Chain A
Amino acid sequence: MIMASSQVKSPGNLRLLLTGVGGQGTLLASRLLGEAALAAGYSPLVSETHGMAQRGGIVISTVVLGELQSPIISPGEADILLGFEALETFRALTYCHADSLVIANTATIIPYTVAVGKGRYPEVESLLSLMAQHVREVCAFDAAALARQAGSPLAVNMVILGALTATEYLPLSQTEILAAIRGHTKTEFLEANLAAFQMGAAAARDPDNWRRRSL
């Protein structure tokens, strides 16, 4: 009998979903992952949302590696979720499955609806602990603070990439990711970006930043 199940996966296939708010650099981060994967011999697919989403709205992009041909990811099928903003990371939890890795920036960008008193921004701590109940593990830390510390508030994407590279999930080495960053960064931002990347990697190595599903 042929088993048809959403859990069927071919070895080597990896689906990453990136979410954030316009201006946070999610598109560049997904492109850099794609470039690094291409240089490593993969045939990656990187999909981007353009258009209305860029006026302060939500920006989602995807990176798909392996023998898959679909550029986008269905709900429940992202192996890795890279969340650039706390609320948006939680919103994108619907793309995750029980074995997903979530890397979450704990910094918030208050939506206008909340800023004007129409809606409440949930407690970040509760978002994180709820998320950890539905995925394999969550690595959460203030990526915005690290980016500022590295000298570039816009380098949140570099912090997140650094953290991802420090995990075991990605079939790409730190050298390969760094080469992609070097190849696509203006000289004046390179130093700060590399510093931000290393701070992200250090954050992912800190066990205090990890939460796992309580069994």
Chain B
Amino acid sequence: MSELLGGQAGERRLLMGNEAIVRGALEAGVRCVATYPGTPASEIGDRCYEISRQGHLYFEYSTNEKVALEVTAGAAASGWRALAAMKHVGLNVAADTLMTLGYVGIKGGLVIVSADDPSLFSSQNEQDNRSYAKMAGLPMLEPASPQEAKDMALAAFSLSEELGLPVLLRTTTRLNHTRGAVTLGKLAANGGAGHFVKDPFHQVMVPAVAREAHARLVRQQVPALIRSEASPFNVITGSGPWGVVASGVAAAYVADALLELKLSHQVTFLKLGFTHPLPAGLIGDFLSRVERVLVVEELEPYLEEGLKNIAHSRQLTLEIRGKGEGLFSRLYEFHPALVRQVLARFFDLPYEKPTPPLPQQILGQPLPDRPPNLCPGCPHRAMYYAVKIALQELGQEGIFPTDIGCYTLGLLPPLSMADFLICMGSSISTGAGIAKATGQQVVAFIGDSTFFHAGLPALANAVHNRHDLLLVILDNGTTAMTGHQPHPGITLTPPGYPGKPIELEKLVRALGVENLWVVNPLKYKESLAACKEALGKAGLRVLISRSPCPLYLQRLTGKKSKARFQVVGACGDCRHCLDYFGCPAMYLKHGASQMAIDPILCAGCAFCGQFCQAIRPVKESS
């Protein structure tokens, strides 16, 4: 049984922020959860999938975040409590839905979890999604700890129902992936079926209806503000003439800084958890009690600007600072010493800057990097290799728009098979634009899960508008990067997985693609021949590179390939395998012009033995 379904009320558990959100939702009686996996939100979906296999919850991995939000919106419109979880950029995909969802409103509570990623640990940007709450007119909560994540997830459902609006639960990587002590509450009892009540003149957003609905949404800001003013998630601690305001994990750094600088009698600290609408009355009163204010928030000056507006409307002229030279940056996540240092500087406290040891200086030479790499046996590397060699043999240069997944690591040398990337699904259409503008040979790469997420409309466009590019769909049968979640195209499913698979090949053909190749990238001759043929043609061409992710296969079957390969005899200074392929199992023998293969790292895929005569299988007996 899922750990999150156990535990008595009052029991303390060490929960990750994402798990705490799931527990809070279960305590609220959530009935429907949908997501598209994305770091740092993925564990929310993964835990809900486990729970849905055992209990009363409906959960789905949706094809993308827009779809996930719409499935939960439909469930919430029918009276169920529902939750949609996504990474910050996923909310861009769902933004069309989000912006009008507040017009339509909900019946059952609907919570939208946005997991922002300051410092871009695993994202293409570090946008601050608090702007979405303001733009869409939705209430927003920002937890600072796993305990608050659970408490806020629980409270968000009733808040959502009271206001008839979805609630944005805005988190950041540090909260999502921090484990902390969480005191459990009682799980909700199982509810019944929902019921959709027809009310088309409030729920069908044609202009005449939407004009009224927008007015209703604006009116709802008043009761939302009343709840923000009274929210237990906005807390004032300490006393003194200096003011500090913070939200999210930054509030934890402030709390520690105040403790370590012993400032509780100098500083009045306003920690905000209900951050849209901002509690203008509470903030105004706070501002009138202090002399100067420092705002501590990661990314954009959302609170800072809000505070300045409130100060202006109250005709307060005190200094309110946050972002700027010598203070906080709009870039990257904060850490405790940084917040302590800026706090000390702002309030003119003597501060001795720590001087941590600098390993590179101490050693007197650079430390070798340890970049992430595609795994040994990864079929993506094999496909990249075939495209690279095919282009070389044809004497062509390829431009490689790429997409989001493990295969984006193809950016790094020696593969160097990524030239352009914006966001999920961008490979196909940006490739079309590049080919149109330049006439250059464009080979776009997209993973299978990403193809279903955002590639389908782009491929339909490429067919219809007769674009000229080769699209390689890297079909490894799973969403590997985020932890092997299923998607509509999977054929190898985890036991009991209820989803109906859609055949990628049929789908691509049905979209009108005439030039289609399907290869196993681990069969080099076959894939090289297909690549050359595809590169030799004009117009839209699709090559499906199909071979399961070896990690996923191993996880499903419990079996690992026993085959191993070795370098037999002297291979001299060729280095072709290093310069073109770069499997992590390969290494240069110390002090010798000789390659070798690490038998522990080798995955036994047998690919390198197909392009190099010196690589041969290790015989069982040896």
State the A residues within 8 Å of B (CB). 1-10, 21-22, 31, 34-35, 38, 42-58, 67-77, 87-88, 90-97, 110-122, 126-127, 130, 133-134
Contact B374 A116 (CB under 8 A): no
Contact A31 B261 (CB under 8 A): no
- Partner of B372 from the list A10, A38, A53, A69 (CB cut-off 8 Å) is A53
Quick check: is B616 within 8 A (CB to CB) of the other chain? no
Quick check: is B279 within 8 A (CB to CB) of the other chain? no
Distance between Cα atoms of A72 and B373 in the complex (Å): 26
- B350 cross-chain contacts in A, Cβ below 8 A: 1-4
| Most B Cβ at <10 Å: residue of A5, A94, A134 | A5
Quick check: is B406 within 8 A (CB to CB) of the other chain? yes
- Partner of B256 from the list A49, A53, A70, A116 (CB cut-off 8 Å) is A70
- Partner of B359 from the list A7, A54, A70, A94 (CB cut-off 8 Å) is A94
Quick check: is B458 within 8 A (CB to CB) of the other chain? no
Contact A52 B121 (CB under 8 A): yes
Shortest CB distance A38–B (Å) = 5
- A21 cross-chain contacts in B, Cβ below 8 A: 370
Instruction: Knowing A6-B337, A6-B353, A38-B14 are in contact, say whether A115-B180 is a contact too (CB < 8 A).
Output: no
Closest to B180 in A: A45
- A7 cross-chain contacts in B, Cβ below 8 A: 352
Shortest CB distance B574–A (Å) = 13
Sample 22 A-B pairs with CB under 8 A, ordered by A number: A2-B262, A4-B344, A4-B349, A4-B351, A6-B352, A10-B259, A44-B181, A47-B179, A53-B372, A55-B372, A69-B252, A70-B252, A72-B336, A73-B336, A90-B367, A93-B357, A96-B356, A111-B370, A113-B369, A119-B368, A120-B365, A130-B363
Quick check: is B570 within 8 A (CB to CB) of the other chain? no
- Partner of B252 from the list A3, A34, A71 (CB cut-off 8 Å) is A71
Distance between Cα atoms of A96 and B357 in the complex (Å): 7
Closest to B358 in A: A94
Contact A90 B359 (CB under 8 A): yes
Distance between Cα atoms of A82 and B608 in the complex (Å): 37
Contact B177 A47 (CB under 8 A): yes
- A119 cross-chain contacts in B, Cβ below 8 A: 366, 368-369
- Partner of B357 from the list A2, A55, A134 (CB cut-off 8 Å) is A134
Instruction: Knowing A45-B178, A91-B359 are in contact, say whether A56-B344 is a contact too (CB < 8 A).
Output: no
Distance between Cα atoms of A10 and B337 in the complex (Å): 15
Contact B335 A74 (CB under 8 A): yes
State the B residues within 8 Å of A (CB). 12-14, 16, 39-40, 121-122, 144-145, 174, 177-181, 249, 252-253, 255-256, 259-263, 266, 335-338, 340, 344, 349-359, 362-363, 365-375, 406, 409, 578, 582, 584, 586-588
Contact B14 A46 (CB under 8 A): yes
Contact A76 B354 (CB under 8 A): yes
Closest to A78 in B: B356
- Lowest 10 A-B CB distances belong to which pairs? A51-B122, A76-B356, A74-B337, A119-B368, A115-B587, A55-B372, A6-B354, A75-B356, A57-B372, A69-B252
Contact B374 A55 (CB under 8 A): yes
Closest to B260 in A: A8
Contact A76 B355 (CB under 8 A): yes
Contact A113 B368 (CB under 8 A): yes
Closest to B179 in A: A46
Instruction: Knowing A55-B406, A94-B358, A110-B587 are in contact, say whether A50-B177 is a contact too (CB < 8 A).
Output: yes
Distance between Cα atoms of A27 and B178 in the complex (Å): 11
Instruction: Knowing A77-B336, A91-B359, A93-B359 are in contact, say whether A51-B255 is a contact too (CB < 8 A).
Output: no
Contact A130 B178 (CB under 8 A): no
Contact B369 A70 (CB under 8 A): no
Contact A94 B178 (CB under 8 A): no
Contact A58 B370 (CB under 8 A): yes
Contact B578 A4 (CB under 8 A): no
- B367 cross-chain contacts in A, Cβ below 8 A: 87, 90-91, 122
Contact A93 B177 (CB under 8 A): no
- B373 cross-chain contacts in A, Cβ below 8 A: 55-57, 112
Closest to A110 in B: B587
Distance between Cα atoms of A118 and B368 in the complex (Å): 8
Distance between Cα atoms of A74 and B333 in the complex (Å): 12
Shortest CB distance A111–B (Å) = 4
- A67 cross-chain contacts in B, Cβ below 8 A: 259
